[in-house]
Amino acid sequence: MSTSTSPHAVCWLSIPIILLAGLLFKQHAIDFQLYDTYYVLGIIQYAGAVAILIGFFGLIYWMMRKAGKKLNYSMSFLHIAITIVTLTIIALLASNANIAFQTFFALLFTFAAAQIIFLVNVILSFFRR
């Protein structure tokens, strides 16, 4: 696996793109109501949180590589692709006030499934030689 296709490099290279998108669309906001409280989150804060999350995954992938653990490339690619795509779709759709709760919940469920793929990949790598 070359450095350009390694999971940690993909994660780390996507961070500046995410932050740049947050800066370019900083006039947008994500708002949601939870019980009696109305939360408004600027897209720049969302982009910062996503960049930290993706950076954390990149750090874990890098530490696994330095520890000599072989991760399944397909599962790693699937995890990164689903994570970045679902978080991007959430950011694009969340500024729309007419988004259905079922759509938002389906995206969150897809995001959670990607994290389960990541955990299974890491756990399986510890049981391999």
Binning pLDDT at 50, 70 and 90, where does residue 10 land?
Answer: confident
Q: How would you class 20 by CB atoms within 10 Å of its CB: exposed for 0-12, middle for 13-18, buried for 19 or more?
A: exposed
Q: How do residues 21-56 score in pLDDT, each as one tens digit?
A: 888 877 777 777 778 888 888 888 888 999 999 999
Confidence (pLDDT) at 112: 95
Write down the pLDDT at residue 92: 79
Q: What is the mean pLDDT of the chain?
A: 85
In this prediction, residue 129 carries a pLDDT of 67
Half-sphere exposure in the Cβ direction for 51 (13 Å, CA) = 17
Domain ranges for the chain, please list them.
3-127
